[in-house]
Amino acid sequence: MRRGNSRKNTAKIQLQHIKRYIMIQETISSQEKCPILKGRLGVGVREAFSFFYPGYRTESDIFSECITRYLNRNSVVLDAGCGKGMFFRYPWKSQVQLLVGCDIEASVSCNPNISSGICANLMRLPFVQDSFDIVFSHYVLEHLESPHTVFSEFCRVLKHGGKLIVLTPSKYHYVSTLSRMTPHLFHETISRIRGNEEHDAFPTKYIANCKRELVRNAERAGLILREFITKEASPNYLLWSLPSFLLGVAYERFVNSLAFMSPFRSSIIAIFEK
């Protein structure tokens, strides 16, 4: 009898691994539908990108894999600050019990990734306590004026043992530094050059965009850090000329190869638990 139960448990674990593998592959496939290179490209940049970044995994791919790790059929999930879903696509709507999106923009109702979209401020989430197994946020924290209030709301709506998973830029990266030094009109111009709409460039604050401030705000809200990942992405802001792109490649290789340079990498992925 014990041997039979052991076989059943082994088969169940193997089935869970297979399901998780399929979910990851579907996630990667959905991300590949979004071209990495768009906007104004310098001569030779596309070829150089293919040479330096064959089979490139973006920070969003890694972020997706982190989320997929915790998903199952019974998961109730919140995409906090999801917008209209054009910059981050995923296939999880049919793989979980419920996937809700929340954003201050009315365009949330057009987001194809979610089961239901709600227009609301993240500082006052319209959900009861202990509603979600997972809350995730893709490039949103850098826009917050009051990170502690938002983290407190995330903690309130998370179930006990629930996960908060965030992807946000480091305040010490050269793009973030330049962003803090320039007016918003400049950001809109860069957004247009990169092939995005001007109104998709939202004002940035970078109040909680380093490990110390992220952990401080999360712990004050009642969350515990479980994992912290930094990654210097490909130099997508420097695609307008081959020399600028190659300079960005050199920077990427340098900061990714040295642990003490991790604060200067472009992207932060953090996983917190309630």
| Distance between CA atoms of residues 14 and 16, nearest Å | 5
**Tens digit of pLDDT for each residue in 143-153?**
999 999 999 99
Least confident of 1-10, 99-108, 221-230, 257-266: 1-10
Helix boundaries (H) for the chain? 2-32, 45-52, 59-68, 147-157, 174-181, 184-193, 211-221, 242-257
pLDDT score at 87: 84
Global pTM value: 0.82
pLDDT interval class at 184 (50, 70, 90) = low
pLDDT score at 29: 45
| 174: three-class secondary structure by DSSP | helix
Residue 98 has pLDDT above 60, yes or no: yes
- If one counts every other C-beta atom within 10 angstroms of the C-beta of residue 144, the result is 23
| Distance between CA atoms of residues 6 and 16, nearest Å | 15
The correct CATH number of 2-273 out of 3.40.50.150, 3.40.50.970, 3.30.450.40, 3.30.70.260 is 3.40.50.150
Residue ranges covered by each domain of the chain: 2-273
In the structure encoding, which two tokens stand for residue 4, read together? Answer: 């039979």
| Distance between CA atoms of residues 252 and 62, nearest Å | 17
Residue 154 has pLDDT above 70, yes or no: yes
**Integer angstrom CA distances of residue 35 from 29, 46, 198, 236:** 12, 12, 19, 12
**Tens digit of pLDDT for each residue in 55-87?**
899 999 999 999 999 999 999 999 999 999 888
